[in-house]
Chains A and B, each alone.
Chain A
Amino acid sequence: MRAPALSTILKFALFFAAVVVIALLPRFMGEFRLSQFTFVALYFIALLGLNILTGYNGQISLGHGAFMGIGAYVSAVLSLGRPGLELYQLDPPGWLPLGDGMTPVFTIPIAGLVTGVVGVLFGIPALRLAGVSLALATFAMAVSLPTVAKRFDSVTGGGGGLSLTLPETPFGWDISTRHWLYYEAWATAGILFVVAWVMVRGRLGRAWRSIRDGEVAAVSSGVSPALYKTLAFGVSSFYAGVAGALLVIEVSFVNPDTFPVGLSILLLASAVIGGLGALTGVIFGALVLEFLPVYAENPPLLPFDFSTQAPSVVFGAALILIMLLLPGGFAGLLRMLAGVFNGAVRRLTEGGRPMPTSPTRRQG
């Protein structure tokens, strides 16, 4: 028996509740927790993008860490501007449109756009690749990024990377920098979540899903795979670029080691754990990505430390188990629970009488 979809009202209520909770969290948390939750926000954005590409559109990407890296470098370079880069004895090519240094928050959309364009450029040849081949190609990209970043060191600062000045609350606003970073990340996450939601609910999402579920059939329905698949790449990498920009703003540093291959692999793993093809589980994936390494190594109630390898073991095992037992990931679990809960409530409130399916129930 399929669990009934949640109604739109319910989802709005949930979203509103989440906004309230996120807005109020800083009152209960110390600075360090806040910084961890800022990371959750940016991982959330990256995972939204990855979910769109892999979950909704069925194109496997093992390279989203690289897209984040591109966004991070763009943001860093723009924040520093030509004068900033020259302070590092870097000599960026004259034709690059570097300004004099930007307020970091404005670099975020630009980083996203640039990364989005790169994504589209990648997506075009990727049209010829399917499934595993695409996974391989994106994996290749993730592995190459550190080397390429080192090679073009007149812009990227090579192995030593780029150091930014410490973040400051801009525009003279009167909130602490830590709070500013938190709200900046979560506000961006919120906006991008709504955008994603609108996209996947609408025509884009339907086109994406129809391509995922059967490209041949999609074509016969008049959907052009080339257009939508490339678009999926572009949108997805835009999100990753934004996440990368937020990361470099948070950390004030970027170098080739900041976005290793492992990150790309873990991003895919977290997307799967959250649940591919659904937006409801993405937040869980983001929480796992940030906190699992911490808790796997030092489990809160146990008196000893596990090996530093414990997070890998847990991630790997979780991935396999989820695919075997619960392919929908956390979102799938929520659906199941919703179905069970729904069923139970129905029995309680209707007193066991069979209830016709509500004709006015809105599809979520």
Chain B
Amino acid sequence: MRKLLLAGALVALLAGLSTATAAPELTTAPTATPGVTSKTITIGGTFPLSGGASFYAPIPRGMKAYFSYINRRRAKDGRRGVYGRQIVWKFYDDGYNPANTVQQTNKLILQDKVFAVVGSLGTEHNQAIRPLLNSRKIPQLMVTTGASFWGTQADVFPWTTGWQPDYISEGKVYAKWVVANKPGAKIAIFYQNDDYGKDYLNGFKQGLGNRTNLIVSEQSYEVTDTSYASQIVRQRGSGANVWVLLTTPTPTVRAIGTARALGWRPEQIIINSVSATDGVMKSAVANAGAAFVNGAVSTGYLKNPSNPKYRRDAAVRQYNRLMTKYGPAGANRADTFYYYGFAKGYDFVKLLYLAGPNLTRASIMKATKKINWFNPYMIKGVQSKTTAKDHFVLDQFKLLRFNDGSWSEISNLFKGR
């Protein structure tokens, strides 16, 4: 008897628990386009807010600050937001684990019912959600990754678009510059042993064309390495005078510091754009001395908000103002990933306008083929442009040289593709 009572109590407990956790979905009035109401547009993305890749975390926060500004200011038509719709921006942490990216993206599309997934970060991560989003005809816009196949596989996955210039293009630009400017070059390459580093490496080799014999040393490192001395001693021993760093921010500083500690000073250092941030350069200078770091070359397409050259620039001033007003408390404005978020936010808002006041998923995808404007956050001349055939939104760089604490532009615009 008492066992039955006990059984009954436990069953009730179990049933109660499960129905409590299985809270029924809030029913909202079905709209023609999910995520779009007369007052709001809901968009979302996934980013590594925790873990080893969390240095990218300022990107969605920068986007949030920019969208907050758009939501408060009055546009030319007198309305706030985009055609009077407030942008609701949701972003979740995937800890750089693609399985989590899928779960969080499911949350965005099934629970938050977003209109589009915007700016999600990571190559494999976007790869993991690409079939899902395309099969449901949900736009996967402006993915944050330098992998190139967003542009090249647009026919297979028509709902997916990229944005930033890809790593292969960037690698090519460095190679072309070396061939043109450093006749006696002996090149040593230090790259991260994953798709990020390998993409850059491939691009670099492609850019060298038939001069790949200029490479005298190729060494890779793992993100788990506690010391690069082993590799860098070998690079030093190869007699190279050009050192190409295809690395992420922290390893870049570590590599430079290690080279200095080992008494190696290659004539020309090339630093990839992801790592050519002010923070990295400052740390590198602190670690290895200005003499070591001065003269390093990189590329850029965004204005550098800390560069004294841009102190009076209208876009940079707006960025600083808006970050103070809408950015997270205590945010480091010199962190270029916030700025990246602004630049992306700008292009996305323009895309929303291009899609028209009758916003549908089809209309925004149509708009992605007609992008053609100049983004004030970009270096002058860099154009956001797509056509029916050319799906790469951004593909231009300027070469930059670092000297005494800041980057200056040393070339005209290079086109990466």
Q: Which positions in A face B, CB cutoff 8 Å? A: 6-7, 9-10, 13-14, 17-18, 21-22, 25, 28-33, 35-37, 39, 147, 150, 158-161, 163, 165-166, 247, 250-253, 255, 257-258, 260, 287, 291, 297, 308-309, 338, 341-342, 345-346, 349
Contact = CB atoms under 8 A, between A and B. Distances in A.
B6 A17 contact: no
A28 B22 contact: yes
A244 to B, nearest CB: 11
Given A251-B102, A255-B98, A308-B93, A13 B23 contact: no
Contacts, number: 124
B14 A21 contact: yes
B329 interface: no
Contacts of B124: 159-161, 253, 255, 257
Contacts of B102: 250-253
Nearest to A347: B2
Interface string B81-106: 00000000000010111110011001
A150 B24 contact: no
A97 B22 CA distance: 42
Nearest to A35: B106
Given A260-B97, A341-B6, A30 B135 contact: no
B107 A251 contact: no
Interface string B1-22: 1110111011100110011011
A309 B57 CA distance: 14
Contact of A161 (B1, B2, B98, B106): B98
Interface of B: 1-3, 5-7, 9-11, 14-15, 18-19, 21-25, 49-50, 93, 95-99, 102-103, 106-107, 110-111, 123-124, 127-128, 130-132, 135, 193-195, 198, 222, 224
A31 B25 CA distance: 9
A160 B130 CA distance: 14
Given A32-B110, A341-B6, A25 B18 contact: yes
B14 A18 contact: yes
Contacts of B198: 159
Given A32-B111, A308-B50, A345-B5, 9 more contacts: A10-B7, A33-B22, A150-B194, A163-B128, A163-B131, A252-B132, A253-B128, A257-B98, A258-B98
A32 B128 contact: no
11 contacts: A17-B10, A28-B22, A29-B22, A32-B111, A159-B195, A160-B123, A160-B127, A166-B131, A247-B99, A251-B102, A338-B6
A312 to B, nearest CB: 9
B275 to A, nearest CB: 19
A253 B127 contact: yes
A227 to B, nearest CB: 35
Contacts of A37: 22
B122 to A, nearest CB: 9
A66 B49 CA distance: 24
Nearest to B54: A308
A29 B93 CA distance: 24
B111 A30 contact: yes
A14 B7 contact: yes
A13 B11 contact: yes
Nearest to A16: B11
A8 to B, nearest CB: 10
B25 A29 contact: yes
A297 B99 CA distance: 18
Contacts of B18: 21-22, 25
Contacts of A161: 98, 124, 127-128
Nearest to A12: B7
A33 B99 contact: no
Nearest to A290: B103
A204 B123 CA distance: 46
Contacts of B93: 297, 308
B195 A346 contact: no
Contacts of B19: 28
Contacts of A35: 103, 106, 110
Given A255-B98, A308-B93, A346 B2 contact: yes
Contacts of A160: 123-124, 127, 195
Contact of B135 (A21, A25, A39, A166): A166
A297 B130 CA distance: 26
A30 B21 CA distance: 12
| Centre residue among B50, B97, B124 by max chain A CB count within 10 A | B124
A308 B15 contact: no
Given A25-B18, A32-B111, A163 B106 contact: no
Given A21-B15, A252-B132, A257-B96, A33 B25 contact: yes
Contacts of A166: 131-132, 135
B103 A39 contact: yes
B169 to A, nearest CB: 19
Contact of A14 (B11, B123, B127, B194): B11
A28 B20 CA distance: 10
Contacts of B24: 28-30
A297 B23 CA distance: 19
Contact of B110 (A14, A30, A258, A260): A30
Contacts of A36: 103
Nearest to B147: A160
A159 B193 CA distance: 9
B11 A258 contact: no
A37 B195 CA distance: 33
A33 B23 contact: yes
A243 to B, nearest CB: 12
B192 to A, nearest CB: 10
A309 B54 CA distance: 12
Contacts of A342: 2, 6
A141 to B, nearest CB: 15
A96 B98 CA distance: 27
A165 B98 contact: no
A332 B107 CA distance: 34
Contacts of B106: 31-32, 35
A345 B6 contact: yes
Contacts of B98: 161, 251, 253, 255, 257-258
Instruction: Enumerate the 4 nearest inter-chain pairs by beta-carbon distance, A residue then B residue, closest first.
Output: A30-B25, A32-B110, A253-B128, A345-B2
B201 to A, nearest CB: 13
A31 B135 CA distance: 16
A342 B2 CA distance: 7
Contacts of A291: 21
Given A28-B22, A291-B21, A342-B2, A159 B194 contact: yes
Nearest to A307: B50
A150 B25 contact: no
Given A35-B110, A253-B128, A309 B6 contact: no
Contacts of A258: 97-99
A10 B6 contact: yes
A10 B3 contact: yes
Contacts of A14: 7, 10-11, 14
